[in-house]
């Protein structure tokens, strides 16, 4: 039984220039204690989908359809006060670039304490101990609690943000680009940390990223998004070794593999579609090498090609038989 | 002395130190001046038409090195020769224009490095005007057309009147490359040219850089933290740590069978896009120390998994371990390729990539 189940989620942005669909008919689920990777390029809707499920969309964003079931409760039907009780205490999110959003004139410890007190996680007299416990969990010593963000390195600030995300004992943590902009070695430390806390706290994690290498090493399941829609979803093994969607395959070919540097690095001709000018039919069709006439006529159906492995491409079944 | 015919760039014992501000109290109390050792005595050369990758983490000194090579920053010590001529001389007032024509920089962020009020045509034509390289409108247009085509913006006329905000990230970076290329430089210093771009676009830009080298013989100094793209693009790789080069040599050797413990650790933590290939990751503890108070002996010793007593005292130097492959580790080992079990999995490649090409 999945802990979090998103069904047919559709999100629009209503702007002066019109309505844009940023996410359309997105469905996926997250099992307890598992890690789901959501991959896609800029503008594919991955961050919008995450904000929508926590009802944190900016003012012009509207959820126009779908369900987000957390423990069988539809988060989209809760009142503002009710959803506020789910945020941080059930599902927390580490925003992209959040490590640069710490208040520069307050110590890191006091900022974490504020989150704890606001949500009444522990009585006020125990807040300090709780801050130390959280910092210890992410590998920051007590002495550094009284320091300010500028005295922290980028990696440490990201650790502090992870500690803050854990403050209210959530079951699900969403990490949006958790290691982008960090050095490789620090990135590896953050990955290790996420794996450690997942094991220790029995967390479910959603990692939103464009880094296919990170997903391969960290995730159990992978959702590939393109132009606001699901291109393919499946186990990490399905996606990396039996990809059925032409976009997934091209994306994997375009990603440099340090162990296989001589392999030709393929690029995907063209550019991801802008939301205000989506192509007709399948959104990948203008860049697809195996597109047929039908692809520009109608949105491809989602085909199930294996246990938990679904593909939004009319040619999926064909691909399977060819590569088998 | 090295021949200026073969080397586009010769860097000899280059040093760049920045003073640390002591503050008012510090200077009144005559605290000793402290220095940031951004680049601390590095030497390398780049052949004409060669692509050398300078790889390292933030603070390793790779960008400062690039700026010294371009004469944007004056070295504290040592020298840089561009085609046999000293860059500090070239950077002097009388010859600065010539230096800028010969060596160009491509910035990391194509969103920040183009003027939002300038059309693509103007952005590419401006360097020609600044350097008085064209005599008339017709010649100018011809040069811009040819350069945009070279940078893969086809047909060029379609881009003339467009503004940066109407272009995608990949197209913008092509415009940035075109405005560097229009002067026919012999050297490009590309500082993280693809790190801001989406994966599907990165390969295009890297392929473009490779083509420029192949077709025009342009020498490229590729500055990056990304070893995977360095492996794809570079002929040779220099790995930097705390202002020094710890390992340098042919890309295949340095990245395929690294000697230095730092290079080995860096290689081991690069995520591999295949869940079947799990490798043993050597995650180093802590972070790169600050370049003000440098560790004694080998700079890497406080984080080295194979540290020995002598590492704390002896300052290592680069030693040649194989043809053209130098490493600074004081105790060079045999190449690890044979003993590393993960290497055996090299051939185990997912079927998807190759099979898909058949369609």
Q: Find chain B residues with C-beta within 8 A of A154's C-beta.
A: 58
Closest approach of B50 to chain A, Cα-based (Å): 17
Q: Which chain B residues in 321-340 lie under 8 Å from chain A, judged by CB atoms?
A: none
- Note whether A44 contacts B: Cβ–Cβ < 8 A: no
User: What are the 10-residue block averages of pLDDT along chain B, 359 residues in total?
Assistant: 74 94 83 90 96 93 95 94 91 87 88 90 94 91 95 92 90 93 95 87 90 94 93 95 96 93 92 84 86 90 91 91 89 49 37 30
Per-residue pLDDT tens over the stretch B60-90:
999 999 999 999 999 999 999 999 999 988 9
Write down the H helix ranges in A139-291.
Answer: 154-165, 184-201, 212-218, 236-241, 246-254
Q: Find chain A residues with C-beta within 8 A of B271's C-beta.
A: 191, 211-214, 216-217
Cβ(A208)–Cβ(A48) below 8 Å? no
Q: Which two tokens stand for residue B304?
A: 């080295």
CA distance A67 to B7: 63
Q: Would you call A260 and B350 a contact, using CB atoms and an 8 Å cutoff?
A: no
Q: Which of A154, A232, A259, A283 to mutate to test the interface with B (most CBs of B within 10 A)?
A: A259
pLDDT of residue B356: 28
User: Which of A211, A236, A258 is facing B275, going by the closest CB pair?
Assistant: A236
CA angle centred on B83, ends B77 and B87, rounded to 5°:
35
Beta bridge partners of A67: A7
Place of tokens 């342009």: B218
Q: Would you call A236 and B269 a contact, using CB atoms and an 8 Å cutoff?
A: no
Closest approach of B304 to chain A, Cα-based (Å): 13
Q: Would you call B202 and A254 a contact, using CB atoms and an 8 Å cutoff?
A: yes
Q: Find chain B residues with C-beta within 8 A of A251's C-beta.
A: 199-200
Q: Find chain B residues with C-beta within 8 A of A96's C-beta.
A: none
Per residue of chain A (324 residues), what is the pLDDT tens digit?
A: 899 999 999 999 998 888 899 999 999 999 999 999 999 988 899 999 999 999 999 999 999 999 999 999 999 999 999 999 899 899 999 988 878 889 999 999 999 999 899 888 899 999 999 999 999 999 999 999 999 999 998 889 999 999 999 999 999 999 999 888 788 899 999 999 999 999 999 999 999 998 898 999 999 999 999 999 999 999 999 999 999 999 999 999 888 888 776 667 778 888 788 888 889 999 999 999 999 999 999 999 999 999 999 999 998 766 554 443
Residue of A nearest to B276 (CA): A237
Kindly report the pTM of this predicted structure.
0.87
Q: Which chain A residues in 77-106 lie under 8 Å from chain B, judged by CB atoms?
A: none
Place of tokens 């794996």: A195
Q: Find chain A residues with C-beta within 8 A of B252's C-beta.
A: 261
Q: Find chain A residues with C-beta within 8 A of B356's C-beta.
A: 249, 253, 323
Cβ(B106)–Cβ(B177) below 8 Å? yes
pLDDT of residue A319: 59
Write down the H helix ranges in B258-350.
Answer: 261-269
Q: Would you call A272 and B199 a contact, using CB atoms and an 8 Å cutoff?
A: no
- Note whether A64 contacts B: Cβ–Cβ < 8 A: no
Closest approach of A62 to chain B, Cα-based (Å): 26
- Note whether B196 contacts A: Cβ–Cβ < 8 A: no
CA distance B184 to B147: 9
Place of tokens 């620090």: A186
Q: Which chain B residues in 210-249 lie under 8 Å from chain A, judged by CB atoms?
A: 225-229, 231-232
Q: Find chain B residues with C-beta within 8 A of A42's C-beta.
A: 169, 198
Q: Which chain A residues in 213-272 lie under 8 Å from chain B, judged by CB atoms?
A: 213-214, 216-217, 236-237, 240-243, 249-261, 263, 265-268, 271-272
CA distance A197 to B105: 43
Cβ(B161)–Cβ(B189) below 8 Å? no
pLDDT of residue B333: 55
The reply to whether omega before B155 is within 30° of 0 (cis) is yes
Closest approach of B254 to chain A, Cα-based (Å): 12
pLDDT of residue B330: 60
CA atoms within 13 A on the CB side of B214: 9
Q: Assign residue A99 a region (left: φ > 0; alpha: ψ between -120 and 50; beta: otherwise).
A: alpha
Closest approach of A285 to chain B, Cα-based (Å): 15
Q: Would you call B170 and A271 a contact, using CB atoms and an 8 Å cutoff?
A: yes
Q: Which of B271, B286, B288 to mutate to test the interface with A (most CBs of A within 10 A)?
A: B271
pLDDT of residue A323: 47
User: Which of B203, B267, B278 is facing A265, going by the closest CB pair?
Assistant: B203
């Amino acid at each position: 039984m999945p802990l979090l189940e998103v069904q047919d989620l559709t999100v629009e942005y209503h702007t002066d220039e019109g309505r844009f669909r940023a996410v359309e008919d997105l469905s996926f689920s997250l099992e307890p204690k598992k890690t789901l990777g959501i991959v896609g390029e800029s503008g594919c809707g991955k961050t919008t989908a995450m904000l929508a499920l926590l009802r944190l969309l900016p003012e012009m964003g509207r959820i126009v359809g779908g369900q987000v079931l957390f423990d069988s409760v539809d988060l989209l039907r809760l009142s503002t006060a009710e959803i506020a009780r789910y945020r941080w205490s059930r599902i927390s999110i580490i925003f992209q670039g959040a490590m640069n959003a710490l208040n520069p004139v307050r110590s890191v410890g006091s900022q974490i304490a504020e989150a704890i007190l606001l949500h009444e996680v522990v009585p006020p007299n125990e807040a300090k101990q709780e801050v130390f416990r959280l910092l210890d969990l992410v590998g920051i010593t007590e002495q550094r609690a009284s320091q300010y963000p500028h005295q922290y390195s980028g990696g440490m600030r990201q650790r502090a943000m992870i500690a803050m995300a854990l403050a209210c004992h959530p079951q699900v943590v969403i990490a949006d680009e958790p290691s982008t902009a960090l050095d490789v070695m620090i990135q590896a430390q953050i990955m290790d940390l996420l794996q450690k806390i997942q094991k220790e706290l029995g967390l479910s994690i959603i990692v939103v990223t464009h880094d296919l290498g990170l997903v391969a090493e960290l995730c159990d399941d992978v959702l590939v998004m393109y132009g606001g829609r699901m291109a393919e979803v499946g186990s990490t093994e399905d996606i990396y070794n039996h990809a059925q969607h032409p976009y997934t395959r091209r994306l994997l070919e375009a990603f440099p593999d340090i162990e296989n540097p001589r392999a030709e690095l393929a690029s995907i001709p063209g550019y991801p579609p802008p939301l205000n000018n989506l192509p007709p039919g399948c959104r990948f069709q203008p860049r697809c090498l195996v597109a047929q006439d039908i692809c520009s006529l109608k949105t491809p159906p989602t085909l199930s090609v294996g246990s938990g492995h679904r593909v939004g491409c009319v040619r999926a079944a064909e691909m399977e038989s060819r590569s088998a | 002395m090295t021949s200026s015919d073969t080397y586009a760039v010769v860097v000899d014992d280059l040093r760049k130190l920045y003073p640390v501000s002591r503050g008012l109290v510090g200077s009144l109390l005559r605290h000793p001046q402290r220095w940031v050792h951004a680049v601390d005595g590095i030497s390398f050369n780049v052949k004409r038409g060669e692509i050398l990758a300078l790889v390292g983490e933030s603070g390793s000194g790779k960008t400062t090195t690039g700026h010294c090579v371009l004469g944007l920053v004056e070295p504290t010590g040592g020298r840089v020769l561009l085609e046999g001529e000293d860059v500090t001389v070239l950077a002097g007032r009388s010859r600065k224009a010539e230096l800028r024509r010969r060596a160009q920089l491509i910035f990391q962020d194509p969103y920040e490095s183009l003027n939002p009020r300038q059309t693509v045509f103007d952005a590419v034509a401006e360097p020609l005007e600044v350097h008085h390289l064209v005599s008339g409108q017709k010649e100018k247009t011809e040069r811009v057309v040819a350069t945009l085509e070279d940078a893969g913006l086809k047909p060029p006329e379609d881009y003339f009147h467009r503004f940066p905000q109407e272009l995608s990230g990949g197209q913008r970076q092509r415009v940035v490359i075109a405005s560097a290329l229009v002067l026919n430089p012999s050297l490009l210093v590309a500082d993280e040219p693809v790190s801001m771009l989406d994966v599907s676009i990165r390969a295009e830009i890297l392929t473009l850089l490779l083509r420029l080298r192949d077709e025009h013989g342009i020498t490229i100094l590729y500055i990056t933290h990304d070893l995977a793209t360095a492996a794809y693009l570079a002929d040779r790789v220099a790995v930097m740590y705390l202002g020094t080069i710890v390992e340098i040599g042919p890309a295949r050797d340095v990245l395929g069978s690294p000697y230095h413990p730092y290079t080995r650790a860096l290689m081991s933590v690069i995520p591999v896009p295949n869940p079947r290939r799990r490798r043993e990751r050597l995650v180093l503890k802590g972070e790169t120390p600050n370049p003000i108070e440098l560790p004694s002996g080998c700079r890497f010793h406080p984080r080295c998994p194979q540290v020995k007593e002598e590492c704390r005292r002896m300052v290592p130097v680069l030693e040649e371990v194989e043809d053209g492959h130098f490493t600074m580790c004081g105790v060079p080992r045999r190449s690890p390729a044979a003993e590393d079990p993960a290497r055996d999995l090299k051939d185990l490649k997912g079927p998807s990539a190759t099979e898909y090409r058949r369609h």
